[in-house]
Amino acid sequence: MNAPAEPALKSPGNLERALADGRFAVTAELGPPRGCDAAAVRKKAQILKGWVHAANVTDNQAAVVRMSSLATGLIMIAEGLEPIMQMTCRDRNRIAMQSDLLGAAAHGVKNLLCLTGDHQSLGDHPGAKNVHDLDSVQMVAMVRAMGEGHFQSGADIPGGGPQFFIGAAENPFADPAAMRPYRLRKKAQAGANFIQTQLVYDLPRFRAFMKKVVELGAHKEVAILAGVGPLKSPGMARHLREKVPGMSIPPELDARLAEAAKGIDPADKPALSRAWREEGKRICVELIREIREIEGVAGVHIIAIEWEQAVPEIVQAAGLSLEDAR
Amino acid sequence: MIVAERKPLEALVKMLEGQGKVLAVGCGTCVTVCFAGGRQEVATLAATLRMKRSIDGAPLEVSEAMVQRQCEHEYIDALEEQVKKHDAILSLGCGVGVQTLAERFPGVRVLPALNTLFMGLPTEQGVWEERCQGCGNCVLDKTGGICPVSRCAKQLFNGPCGGSKNGKCEVDATIDCAWHRIWERAEALGTVEALMQVEPPKDWSSSRDGGQRRLVREDLRAPQAKEST
C-alpha cells in the first residue's frame, strides 16, 4: 500500500511545517531597535530561539521609525530564529513591496505577515505622507500571485516567484464586530495561510468571534493563531484599554494585578513591578490554556513587548511544546 | 463645494511684507458659502491688514473686489483695470482661483489668503467634512455611497482596519470610521454579500498619481482648437 502523498509545502519553514503536521503553533514577536544596534537584535533572538516556531519582526510598529523588518529578519536568520516578516501598506507602494519581497525571498525569509499599518499620525513622524497603494487584503492577493509566478501587473516573474507562507491579521475586538469574521474569511480567500489576532483578554468576545469563524468554515481555510500577551502593570492594562484602538480588557484583570501587589510598599517600585509581572504571566498562561480549547484555534502568538524574557517562561508554564499536537 | 479657511493673520502679514498696494479679491462661489472668501471676509481681512500694518508703522493700501467665480477667465477679466493699480493680488479664492488669477495676470504677484482644504459639505452649522478626493474612478456604487478614498484615513477597499472603535476612526475619535458606516449601510440595504468579494487593487493613474489631470471633450471644443493640437 502506498503511503498518502504529502501535500506540497510552499516554503518549508518551521511555522508552515508545524501547522501542516497539525502541531499547535507558537509564535512570538521581536521588535527591532530604534537604532542600528545589531547586537540588540541578536540578544532578543537568542532569548526566543528554541521556544517558538517563528517570531514576527515588526515593520515600524506604531508608526515609529525602527530598523527595517527585512534587515532585522536577516539577523534573526543568522541567529537561527525563523522570522515572520511584517510588511505594512503604509510606507510602500506595490513597486517597493514587490521589490522588497523578491529580496526577502532571496535571503531566505519564508513567512510574511501582510498588514495595513498603524496610521502615521500616531507615530514619531506625524507629518509623513502615507502610501496605502494597496490594502492588506490586496497585498495578500498580490503575494499569492507572486508565488504563482506573476507580478501584480500580471507580467511573469523571471525564474519563478517567491514562495511565502502568507499571514494576515484580524482584530476580533474592533468594530464593526459583525464584519470581523467575514473580513478574516476574505483574507483567507485572498490567499492567507495563517491569521494572527489582536491580543485576546476578553474570552467571551473571542469565543463568540471564533464560533462565527467556525460556522463560516474559515478555520479550515486558514490557520488561526490567537494573540496573547502578559500585562506588566495595571497602568499597562489601562493604557491598552484607553489608548490602543480595538482592545478589550476586562476590568477584573486590573483587579487581579492590584491584588497581587497587595501588602507591598507602594514606594518599593521594583517589588511592585515584580509582583505585577508575575501575575501578568499567570494570567497569560491561564488565557493560553483556555484559548487552546477553543475550536478553530491552531496556535498562539505571544506578544511580550520589550519583555522577550517572559516568552520562554510563559511557554513552559503553559506546558507548550513545539512538538505538541493541536 | 470646495472648503477653505483663512490663513493665520501672522502668515498673511509675513507674506505681504514689502507690499504697498494690494487688491484683495473674494470669490462668490464655494468660499463664500463656507465663510472663508466672500464679500464679508474680504472686508474683514482688508480692515484687519490695514490696521495691523498701520500699527506696525508700514501702512498698507488694501482695495476690495469680488468676482462671482475666480476659477474662470471670463469672470476675472473685469478686474484688469484695478489690477494695474496694485503691486499684488491677495486672493481669497481657493487654490484654483489663485492660479487662475496668476495665469490671467502674469505681470503681478498673486498671493493666497486661504488654505484650500477639501471637497465636502457642511454637516452642521460651522462644521464641514470631506467627501471626495477626485480620484477619477468613482467606487461609490460598491460602497453604499460612502467614499473609502476620502473618508478612510488609509484608503482601504476591503473593510476596516483594526483601529475602528465604537464606529470612530483611530486617527480622530470625532471622525466616523468610513468602513463602519459602509457596513451599517450595507446591512440596512441588505447588500453585505457584495462586501465579501475581494476588491482588486485600484488603478491610481486616474488620481493625482498620474500627474496633473486634464479633461478634453472633443465634442465641446472649438474647431480651431482641435486643429492646433
Contacts of A137 (CB under 8 A, 6+ apart): A168, A186, A187, A190, B157, B158, B159, B198, B199
Nearest neighbour of A135 by CB, restricted to B156, B196, B204: B156
Provide φ and ψ at A177, rounded to 5°: -55, -40
Q: Could you give the CA distance from residue B215 to residue B229 in angstroms, rounded to a whole number?
A: 14
Spatial CA neighbour of A14 closest among A43, A41, A50: A50
Q: What is the pLDDT of residue B28?
A: 98
- Total-model pTM: 0.94
Q: What is the pLDDT of residue B224?
A: 79
Residue among B156, B161, B199 with most chain A CBs within 10 A, to mutate: B161
In tens digits, what is the pLDDT along chain B, a chain of 229 residues?
999 999 999 999 999 999 999 999 999 999 999 999 999 999 999 999 999 999 999 999 999 999 999 999 999 999 999 999 999 999 999 999 999 999 999 999 999 999 999 999 999 999 999 999 999 999 999 999 999 999 999 999 999 999 898 999 999 999 999 999 999 999 999 999 999 999 999 999 999 888 999 999 999 998 877 766 5
Residues of B with CB under 8 A from a CB of A: 153-167, 170-171, 177, 179-180, 183-184, 187, 192, 195-196, 198-201, 204
Residue given cell 507558537 in the structure block: A26
Instruction: Please give the order of strands across the beta sheet that includes B61-67.
Output: B61-67, B21-27, B88-91, B109-112
Q: Which residues of A touch B187 (CB under 8 A)?
A: 178
Give chain B as a DSSP string: -EEEEEPPHHHHHHHTTT--EEEEEEESSHHHHTTSSSHHHHHHHHHHHHHHHHHTT---EEEEEEES-TTSHHHHGGGHHHHHT-SEEEE-S-HHHHHHHHHH-TTSEEEE-EEEEEEEEEEETTEEEEEE---SS--TTTTTT--HHHHSTT--SSS--TT-BTTB-SS-TTSB-HHHHHHHHHHHHT-HHHHTSPPPPP-GGGSGGGSS-----TTTS-HHHHHH-
Residues in chain B with CB shorter than 8 Å from the CB of A119 are: 153-154, 163, 170-171
Contact (CB<8Å) A198/B162: yes
- Assigned C-alpha cell, A176: 464593526
Q: Are B171 and A246 a contacting pair at CB < 8 A?
A: no
**Position A56: which residue type?**
N
Q: Residue B163, Cα to own-chain centre: how many angstroms? A: 28
Instruction: Tell me what pLDDT residue A243 has.
Output: 83
Interface contact B161-A132, CB threshold 8 A = no
Phi and psi for B43 in degrees, rounded to 5?
Answer: -65, -45
Tens of pLDDT along chain A (326 residues)?
444 444 466 668 999 999 999 999 999 999 999 999 999 999 999 999 999 999 999 999 999 999 999 999 999 999 999 999 999 999 999 999 999 999 999 999 999 999 999 999 999 999 999 999 999 999 999 999 999 999 999 999 999 999 999 999 999 999 999 999 999 999 999 999 999 999 999 999 999 999 999 999 999 999 999 999 999 999 999 999 988 877 899 999 999 999 999 999 999 999 999 999 999 999 999 999 999 999 999 999 999 988 999 999 999 999 999 988 77
Mutation target vs A (from B146, B150, B165, B181; most A CBs, 10 A cutoff): B165
Hey, are the CB atoms on B163 and A118 less than 8 Å from each other?
yes
Chains A, B: CB contacts within 8 A come to 104
Half-sphere exposure of B60 (CA within 13 A, CB side): 29
Q: Which residue on chain A is closest to B209 by alpha carbon? A: A133
Q: pLDDT tens-digit profile of B47-69?
A: 999 999 999 999 999 999 999 99
Query: Nearest CA of chain B to the CA of A1: how many Å?
Result: 43
Handedness of CA A17, A19, A23, A27 (dihedral sign): positive
What is the structure's pLDDT at A2? 46
- ipTM computed for the complex: 0.92
For residue B135, give how far its alpha carbon lies from the nearest alpha carbon of chain A (Å). 13
CB contact under 8 A, B167 and A176: yes
Mutate to test the interface with A, among B158, B197, B205 (most CBs of A within 10 A): B158
- Chain A: closest CA distance from residue B187 (Å): 10
Do A138 and B158 lie within an 8 Å CB cutoff? yes
- The alpha carbon of residue B18 is apart from the nearest alpha carbon of chain A, in Å, by 31
Question: Nearest Cβ partner of A176 from B154, B184, B204?
Answer: B184
The predicted pLDDT at position A8 comes to 60
Does residue A51 contact residue A315 with C-beta atoms inside 8 Å? yes
* Rounded distance between C-alpha atoms, residue A287 and residue A289, angstroms: 5
Q: Which of B133, B139, B154 has the highest number of chain A CBs within 10 A, making it the mutation to test binding with A?
A: B154
Exposed / middle / buried, residue B166 (Cβ in 10 Å: 0-12, 13-18, 19+): exposed
Contacts of B192 in chain A (CB under 8 A): 182
